[in-house]
Copies of this chain bind each other. A is one copy, B any other.
Amino acid sequence: MAILRGMSKYESHLDMCFSALGDPTRRMILERLARGEASVSELAAPHDMALPSFLEHLKKLEAAKLITSNKQGRTRICELSPDAFTPVRDWLTEQNAIWEGRLDRFNDYINNLVQERNK
């Protein structure tokens, strides 16, 4: 049960990561933050959007642990989480391993066929 709970937590973190990345405004924010930390108003400037909608985007990125933010005086500063993309990258690596395992098995199968033929 603990493992299941742990898994579903991992699942929902991955869900939040991928869903957060599925929006061009949010990806632009991440691209900006990859260049260095920025205040909310700096981040909002290039986007033609009401502030409350923009803050919603930041909230989704923060919930997915892709960014962190903290107040410095009256300004809120955002930065990219250092291992923001690790869960996504890990998932992709896993898929790749499954896919390559499949190609390896296919190769073995062909090699066996060829050996059988040449006997």
Contact = CB atoms under 8 A, between A and B. Distances in A.
A110 interface: no
A contact patch SS: helix
Contacts of A15: 22-24
Contacts of A21: 18, 22, 91
A47 interface: no
Among A89, A92, A99, A102, chain B packs the most CB atoms within 10 A around the CB of A99
A71 interface: no
Interface string A57-95: 000000000000000000000001000010011011011
Interface of A: 11, 14-24, 27, 30-31, 34-36, 80, 85, 88-89, 91-92, 94-96, 98-99, 102
